[in-house]
Structure 1
Amino acid sequence: MQPTDIDFFTLVSESYERLLGKPLVPDEGLTPAEAARWLYEDAPFGILAHDTQADPVFVYGNLRAQRLFGYTWNELTALPSRLSAEAPERSERQAFLEQVTRDGYVDGYRGVRVAQSGERFRIERATVWQLFDRDGVHRGQAAMIPHVSAIG
């Protein structure tokens, strides 16, 4: 998949709007291709998404998320998403993801994450939601990270 794949953008943005009742991308008359590019290149928040494998792997991370976590596109999209949290945080993260599965989305999440460099940081006010395509097939989960803070 390419970072600006229109079908994936549609999955992420429609799932978000369906569950939260508001658009992920500001409606400024953008074409789907322009909106997909904006989300990948210019969004002021990080977006991550993982698939539905038993050990989910990231399938998307916009440039903001790549900078936060210190991975390139190819590195990030080969990474099991559990590795974005330190081992002590993983059980908390898993319980949170189960809540997202049950409720469809969770808003206002905060938790400690770890960059590729080992640097720890806190994500704050994050929204995590289920990705369902137009046929109702579950495709994974996505997260919007609007704010981070340093730990230390």
Structure 2
Amino acid sequence: MQPHLTPESQAFARLLAESFTHWTGRDLLTLQMSVTPAKAGAPLQRAAQPAEPPLLSRDHAAPAEALYTAPFALVAHGTEPDPIFCYANRAAQALWEMDWAAFTQLPSRMSAEPASAIQDDRNRLMAAALANGWIADYSGIRVSATGRRFEIRDTVLWNVVDGAGKRWGQAARVGESVKLLAQQRL
């Protein structure tokens, strides 16, 4: 069985989609408004709505497959003291140049260059999302498994939470990526 289609991954994909909609009011795949966004600290609501967001179908494999094959990079890490990625769709695996098995063993801090300014920027981003539930329009420098540098842009970072308010980690939807030359500085 493909790793993104295990029962655990299917459930997590649904949680990614529900959390994204909870915080932003938008569908994770289409970015169309579907509900009123939540305030920071608000528990995940599954209230009845006139129309269910497109990604949240009753078929659990369909959302998992849709997210895995989406044209944008989507990653998530857990809540460990040094968080480790627990999800990376196909676009993220291509961007960071590693497969699911390698990606889901990688501490998320290692997705960025080790330079203190870049790590400090990344840490500020994580703290802001943790405090507010989500942030949008983030950009930053990242590095692939082969050392290729790239900038992520128009990135949304959000807290992954369940219906009981338990935080499962954080996720990021990368809107755009731009390759950088080895010596290129922003």
Q: Mark yes or no: TM-score above 0.5.
A: yes
Structure 2 unaligned blocks of 5 or more: 31-53, 182-186
Give the SS at the match of 1:118.
coil
Give 1:124's match in structure 2, choosing from 153, 160, 167: 153
Name the count of aligned residue pairs. Answer: 151
Partner of 1:104: 133
Q: Deviations over 1:90-121 (max 9, x none)?
A: 11101111011111101000000000000100
Which of 25-34 and 109-118 deviates more?
25-34
Q: Give the TM-score normalised by structure 2.
A: 0.77
Q: Which has the higher helix share?
A: 1
Q: Give the TM-score normalised by structure 1.
A: 0.94
RMSD between aligned residues: 1.6
Rounded Cα–Cα distance in structure 1 between residues aligned with 2:4 and 2:155: 21
Structure 1 unaligned blocks of 5 or more: none
1:44 touches 1:146 (CA, 8 Å); kept in 2?
no
| Structure 2 residue identity aligned to 1:125 | D
Larger radius of gyration: 2
Partner of 1:64: 91
Q: Which has the higher strand share?
A: 1
Give the SS at the match of 2:4.
coil
Deviation at 1:28, TM superposition (A): 7.2
Partner of 1:138: 167
1:45 touches 1:144 (CA, 8 Å); kept in 2?
yes
Give 1:44's match in structure 2, choosing from 67, 71, 78: 71
Question: In the superposition, relative to structure 1, how do residues 28 and 143 fare at CA in structure 2: closer, same or farther (>3 Å)?
Answer: closer
| Structure 1 residue identity aligned to 2:101 | N
Deviation at 1:150, TM superposition (A): 1.3
Rounded Cα–Cα distance in structure 1 between residues aligned with 2:110 and 2:56: 37
Question: In the superposition, relative to structure 1, how do residues 28 and 55 fare at CA in structure 2: closer, same or farther (>3 Å)?
Answer: closer
Partner of 1:23: 27
Moved over 6 A (4+): none
Rounded Cα–Cα distance in structure 2 between residues aligned with 1:104 and 1:29: 20
Rounded Cα–Cα distance in structure 1 between residues aligned with 2:67 and 2:99: 16
